[in-house]
Structure 1
């Protein structure tokens, strides 16, 4: 009871920053899911072939990964973090406004690359700021943070759906129609730009792809609506900047533009007494470096091998789990419509929505659960659940009912893996080092790499290999997690952590020792 009261007290004292970070992650989710249902309209708008439009996915995913790695550069101080979040969330609104004006696929890929950079920056900075704020109690708030990703990812297709065309931009004798829209999307994720010959159903390179009057403009309203919905997010970050007195127009105590003396303190490592004399918002935080600073040789001195092993194994777990999430959502439709299941296109179209719906539902359920269950226990349950679900799907590969039940189960078990793993790893490392940056980057690499790998195997070996890959990746994730538990036992205990590194008022807290 005392623990719950203290956590709720922490939440009340950090209400505005927490709500702001959650809203920024809503922007992330809103931007990550709209490409799928609008792909056919964007293809018509840009007069592009399927291999050409596939580069839009690649540019977004690649720059999301780069943004995750580079996001650490902007988070050494609270001021840098908040300005990075403001710029990124505002960029997402601008991207939504500009997309309808992109009539060339190269311009569209460039715009989506900008969106990817903004999303990657949000991913790293918002996760890190919540971990900094709540530390030992961050698990429940991280679960809520990632719930807003799922909520945004569910909302953007719903907004786009009323404005989607029925494939009228194709010639009358074309082979694409409304029922093949989702098949086009998923098959493009399978094949990528390197297998155009495997798509005889679609007009790959027809120069006559021209939208009829009004076709390309209807979907523009969906993007503008999403841009307007997202616009309050940068406003919320701006209000937080004002509250923290980080706007030059609101306070002269902590100006945004540093003086020459303050700039020298930022560029040179200060002595302890100098760092303590700096304004709180301008003090660099210990640990929590960006990915490039983590790799400097000076950070390796006197550090036990278990420290590096924990970073690596935790990143490998998320490499597998986030990769499975991306691959399953991308290819479950193609698996369902292929033989031997041969599910109807309309029925199979519900599978990706079911998967993401239960991911969002699982993250919602995980918010109260994570306040009672340790992150390590939640990750263990998730790993076992993922492996068992894939085994059941493999055993009953010819049963459509088990496919739908298994898809929902997989969404539930994968939903809380990332926030639980992040909370657990930061807890092990006592909020030192580069855990958040390394984990976010590892998850991004996995999501991009495993989709490409599963797509290649899917085309070469057939639909059954889709579930075999899931079992293999699930077993690898579980193995890496067991290794993480082993390295946790080897790592020096909490007694080696200085008292000043613990959250204020928690030195003797029973909740802190859990």
Structure 2
């Protein structure tokens, strides 16, 4: 068979949990991609300047980072994990529903900050729960999990596109609209301009334009509603709803079942949870960390730095490929260049889908090596063929394919090294979000001062640094393995009496 019977058995035992975690990642993708195509309408709706509307992006990304950092604290019991997922996915629907009523940029920024916090919690918990369930077989399921981000990110712009207003300025002058579009595109892409932050939208658009985009947000809110319902049904099945009889004794049943399917003891799971591996701060404060070797900490740091670089490339490329395309020497038409970001996200989605069977056939470390090398080669070819319009589209597609599976592969690989303690997931998710936020700002600043060609040069440098950090991670993994062999421990976090418990249970 294409998939081992053992993995199919694991999936059958945990299918409802798995599908639920996949569905909440669809909410994540749905929420992360709608700002781009609707930014003009939101700018008109809030009657704000460009400088003010950019805080909406920052508020979402910053709170996403906070949510990723603290999200792991909810995984201590199955009830707290599912309750957090239920509230987070429900909040996303509520935010979609109230965005059309945010006529002030501050209210819009607050709404997006709340959605970013919910997205960060979803990101951490769903990854941790899948790793806890499938452990050494988690690579395949993590690839599928991250496919749903791309799927949601593709659906969101498609829903919004028919409702976008082309005359939201409330003016009959096509020249004014064209001029404003030109200024806004360049500003979002990072090009230098004069006095664009003082460009104001006239009073209030026509009623038809004012309300049409609201339907897009309400449709997305409605489409997202089955996700919290699915989480609620899972809680009901596990008897975790407070009104259900005998709900309290079932709080940790699922955690124990997940460990038993891997041949481990449910009691060991409780010990790991008691160790404090939940959020980023508890990982740093745990008393059990005192006796660990430096290699244990270096694996977390190096793995996080690799994702800091690669997710930074994703954010920077999606944000500034338009600038590079419309600038000299490419000088593509604005409409043609606008397709590049869509192609990039489509390639990431397709790459994650293709990586599902690849993750079953190949070890994560091998896929990581191929993908990181592919990123460097692709950016190098883009640098060499910088005048080729055709290869810009081809290279964009290839880059999306190579970047698509780096995060889930790194997550599976690092947790495998550390024997699935859970702390690495929180560190990696936080590092990836930080890289996407920081490097996007850094690359944008460099493009403004050094020109559009520096865009690809930055990508090349970041890719090489990421590859070097990955080589260092491989060396650190070997040192850590020698330490475990020398101390005769399966994991530095594991207690020595664990084998005796197994014998007693047998």
In structure 2, the residue matched to 1:262 is none
In structure 1, the residue matched to 2:46 is 46
Q: Distance in 1 between matches of 2:93 and 2:60?
A: 16
Q: CA deviation at 1:416?
A: 0.2
Q: Distance in 2 between matches of 1:390 and 1:277?
A: 49
CA contact (8 A) 2:364 2:409 kept: yes
In structure 2, the residue matched to 1:29 is 29
Q: Distance in 1 between matches of 2:415 and 2:422?
A: 9
Q: Distance in 2 between matches of 1:59 and 1:203?
A: 18
In structure 2, the residue matched to 1:400 is 389
Q: CA deviation at 1:284?
A: 3.8
- TM-score, normalized by length of structure 1? 0.88
**Does residue 497 of structure 1 match 2:490?**
yes
**Does residue 482 of structure 1 match 2:475?**
no
Q: What secondary structure does 1:301 align onto? A: helix
In structure 2, the residue matched to 1:425 is 414
Are the structure 2 counterparts of residues 257 and 361 from structure 1 closer, same or farther at C-alpha, using a change threshold of 3 Å? Answer: closer
Q: CA deviation at 1:76?
A: 1.1
Q: CA deviation at 1:214?
A: 1.9
CA contact (8 A) 1:36 1:185 kept: no
**Does residue 341 of structure 1 match 2:330?**
yes
Q: Distance in 2 between matches of 1:415 and 1:373?
A: 16
**Does residue 6 of structure 1 match 2:6?**
yes
CA contact (8 A) 1:183 1:334 kept: no
Structure 2 residue runs without a partner (length 5+): 253-264, 496-506
Q: CA deviation at 1:295?
A: 1.2
Q: Distance in 2 between matches of 1:72 and 1:29?
A: 20
Q: Distance in 2 between matches of 1:397 and 1:2?
A: 42
In structure 1, the residue matched to 2:64 is 64
CA offsets 1:209-237 (integer angstroms, 9 cap, x no match): 53222212100000000000000000000
Are the structure 2 counterparts of residues 256 and 371 from structure 1 closer, same or farther at C-alpha, using a change threshold of 3 Å? Answer: closer
Q: Distance in 1 between matches of 2:182 and 2:161?
A: 12
CA contact (8 A) 2:345 2:400 kept: yes
CA offsets 1:274-302 (integer angstroms, 9 cap, x no match): x9899x99994656331011111623211
Q: What secondary structure does 1:199 align onto? A: coil
Q: CA deviation at 1:344?
A: 0.3
**Does residue 206 of structure 1 match 2:204?**
no
**Does residue 227 of structure 1 match 2:227?**
no
Q: Distance in 2 between matches of 1:126 and 1:333?
A: 32
In structure 2, the residue matched to 1:129 is 129
Q: Distance in 1 between matches of 2:491 and 2:438?
A: 39
Are the structure 2 counterparts of residues 41 and 161 from structure 1 closer, same or farther at C-alpha, using a change threshold of 3 Å? Answer: same
Q: Distance in 2 between matches of 1:2 and 1:361?
A: 20
Are the structure 2 counterparts of residues 237 and 182 from structure 1 closer, same or farther at C-alpha, using a change threshold of 3 Å? Answer: farther
**Does residue 247 of structure 1 match 2:241?**
yes
Q: CA deviation at 1:366?
A: 0.3
Q: Distance in 1 between matches of 2:221 and 2:314?
A: 26
Q: What secondary structure does 2:244 align onto? A: coil
Are the structure 2 counterparts of residues 410 and 201 from structure 1 closer, same or farther at C-alpha, using a change threshold of 3 Å? Answer: farther
Q: CA deviation at 1:187?
A: 2.9
Q: CA deviation at 1:172?
A: 4.2
Q: Which structure features the higher share of helix residues?
A: 2
Are the structure 2 counterparts of residues 456 and 175 from structure 1 closer, same or farther at C-alpha, using a change threshold of 3 Å? Answer: farther
Q: Distance in 2 between matches of 1:32 and 1:311?
A: 26
Q: Distance in 1 between matches of 2:173 and 2:282?
A: 57
CA contact (8 A) 1:287 1:432 kept: no
CA contact (8 A) 2:309 2:463 kept: yes
Deviates more, 1:426-435 or 1:126-135: 426-435
Q: Distance in 1 between matches of 2:299 and 2:67?
A: 23
Mapping of residues 282-321 of structure 1, within 5 Å = 284=273, 288-296=277-285, 298-321=287-310
Mapping of residues 52-451 of structure 1, within 5 Å = 52-173=52-173, 177=177, 181=181, 184=184, 187-188=187-188, 190=190, 198-200=192-194, 204-206=198-200, 208-254=202-248, 284=273, 288-296=277-285, 298-432=287-421, 434-451=423-440
Q: What secondary structure does 1:491 align onto? A: helix
Q: What secondary structure does 1:371 align onto? A: helix
Q: Distance in 1 between matches of 2:91 and 2:178?
A: 32
Q: Distance in 2 between matches of 1:185 and 1:17?
A: 42
Q: CA deviation at 1:500?
A: 12
Q: CA deviation at 1:252?
A: 2.2
- TM-score, normalized by length of structure 2? 0.89
Are the structure 2 counterparts of residues 181 and 371 from structure 1 closer, same or farther at C-alpha, using a change threshold of 3 Å? Answer: farther
Are the structure 2 counterparts of residues 107 and 175 from structure 1 closer, same or farther at C-alpha, using a change threshold of 3 Å? Answer: farther
Q: Distance in 1 between matches of 2:405 and 2:279?
A: 24
